[in-house]
Amino acid sequence: MYKAFEGVLPRDRHPVFFVFLEIPPHKIDFNVHPAKREVRFVDKEMVYKLVYSRIRDVIRAERTEYTRPFTEAPVTASSEYQFPGSPDFSANRPVVAENLEFNYKPSLPSIYLGGTFVALSGRGGFTVIDYHAAHERILFEKLLKDMRSATRQLLFPVQVRLSAREYRVLLQNVDIIKTFGIEMEDFGHNTVIVRALPEELDDTGVGGVLSDIAADLIEGTASNSPIKEKLAALIACHGSVRGKELPPPEAISGLIDDLEKTEHPDKCPHGRPTRIFFSLDDLNKMFKRK
């Protein structure tokens, strides 16, 4: 049943669970092994599909943060392949569970570690979160999905003077830059005037943003890289919360919730981890207890 856990557990992890089946005796062959150590299902494909689909249903229904503990859920089957009645969910009897559990709740306090790192503890270990990288991932996917939803017009347009090369490449790509909410015009003499920005960007650093965009455009032109993704990643990086801006606990809770809703919550747009889980087994090894 490893296939049922594809995309959920790392390859070096092994799921542990018990499955109880009630099957009519005539649907089982008990004479496969002389010592009765093995049995054979008459319709083994049916049993495989049933168990596989039930595990996947539980995984989808009970997905939580980071290590995704799986708990028992009501099961229905055909009349010939019945599981026992649905157990009491509050009885704390996990039928499908990874041994490294972490149940995140918004009420759990986060511990600031310095830089852009906070830690959250839970059953079975703790998780270190790089909230800058996490915010990058959230903004990156938001920009790609709905690039113009949060554009704001500047009350006082900003003039930005650039190098000749930066100036040329920005004007050549003014339309694609505009799709990300940055509206600018040629002001002459290697200068552009910026009239609108995405909501995530602060106009005080717009010169650095445009220089970085120009550098990415130049590099992308040479390497045929996906320009939209590169620009979205750059804007997300500039717009995400920094180390000097420690978010309050409620903001951290919201950040974690938004991160879990992204398509790729474990990596920032540049491929760095957004969060790392340390199990009690990991800690025991670090402290030479195993």
H-run or E-run covering 236: helix 227-239
- Compute the half-sphere exposure of residue 281: CA atoms within 13 Å on the CB side of its CA: 6
CATH of 151-198+201-239, one of 3.30.420.40, 3.40.50.12780, 1.10.10.10, 3.30.1370.100: 3.30.1370.100
**Residues of each domain in the chain carrying CATH 3.30.230:** 2-97
- Mean pLDDT, the chain, integer: 76
Q: How far apart are CA 42 and CA 35, in angstroms?
A: 19
Per-residue pLDDT tens over the stretch 248-269: 878 888 888 899 888 888 889 8
pLDDT at 165 > cutoff 70 = yes
Amino acid occupying residue 251: A
Residue 20: per-residue pLDDT: 83
For residue 130, what pLDDT is reported?
A: 92
**pLDDT, tens only, 266-277:** 889 888 889 988
Per-residue pLDDT, 220: 67
Identify the pLDDT of residue 6. 63
More confident position, 59 or 225: 59
Q: How far is CA 5 from the centre of its chain?
A: 17
In the chain, residues under CATH classification 3.30.1370.100 are 151-198+201-239
End-to-end CA distance of the chain: 29
Residue 223 has pLDDT above 80, yes or no: no
- Residue-wise pLDDT for 105-154, tens only, equals 545 578 888 889 999 887 678 889 999 999 999 999 888 887 655 678 88
Average pLDDT over every residue of 234-247: 80
The fold of 2-97 is Ribosomal Protein S5; domain 2 (3.30.230)
